[in-house]
Structure 1
Amino acid sequence: MRGLLARLVLNTLALWLVSLLYPGVRFTPGAGLADYLVAGAIWGLANALIRPVFLFLTLPLNLLTLGLFTLVINGAILYLMAQVTALEVQSFSSALVGAILLSLVSLALNWLFRD
């Protein structure tokens, strides 16, 4: 349970940091802590449930591009997540850049707060 809560906090923190760093991805004005936590939870669930299905379905294309298509999948998941949360993404290209930044920020946070 502790690991799940830590993952939720790290996802939320990463989304919040990306929304501060990149203007193409931001939270709606007036969004509170609950909105941030919901977005972090949905990001975690999307990465755990939807991302593997997308990766499996696009496996030939992913192999052909030597894994670079994974960036497009991450952008698509971020764009889809923005449709159901308080997160706003300007365009798909903004979602792509936001997903790259989110990956880098998550990597740094996971390294910083590793067990």
Structure 2
Amino acid sequence: MILLNALAVWAATLVPGIWVSGWSQDPLMVVLAYLVVGAVFGVINAVIKPVLSLLALPITCLTLGLFAIVINAAMLMLTGWLVTEFIPGVEFVIDGFLWAGVLGAIVVALVSALLGRFLQPERA
């Protein structure tokens, strides 16, 4: 799951205004930085996102589910803040909520759905 999140975050860095930098420019350190960001993003999505989604259920219903994109963008922004503040040497930056955050959240959701569909085993 961490690898799936790391790949989704890597795809989100294709959006202008989102980038990840690691401890050095060594490819292994950059991959490790993406794995750290993927792990933090996974924990946030497992712990905070369900509570926030439940609290925002009325507005999500009123907007026919579009508010879920805003919640995903908020989770991405929270991940960026936590990684940049609390993990020395790793920086995950999102330049603005409206464009970079929302577009990054859409990219992460699409890539996660596609990779999850193809990489995770089917359940009976």
TM-score bracket for this pair, using the shorter chain length: 0.7 to 0.9
Q: Is the 8 A contact 1:25 1:88 kept in 2?
A: yes
The match for 1:46 among 44, 47, 52 is 44
Q: Is the 8 A contact 2:21 2:33 kept in 1?
A: no
Amino acid at match of 1:89: I
**1:99 aligned partner:** 105
Shift of 1:87: 1.1
Normalising by structure 2, report the TM-score.
0.80
**Cα distance between partner residues in 2 of 1:36 and 1:63:** 33
**Cα distance between partner residues in 2 of 1:113 and 1:76:** 26
The Cα RMSD (Å) is: 1.5
- Count of residues paired in the alignment: 108
Normalising by structure 1, report the TM-score.
0.85
**Unpaired runs of at least 5, structure 2:** 84-90
Partner of 1:26: helix, strand, or coil? Answer: strand
Amino acid at match of 1:90: D
**1:88 aligned partner:** 93
Percent of pairs identical after alignment? 39
**1:28 aligned partner:** 21
**Unpaired runs of at least 5, structure 1:** 1-6
**1:4 aligned partner:** none
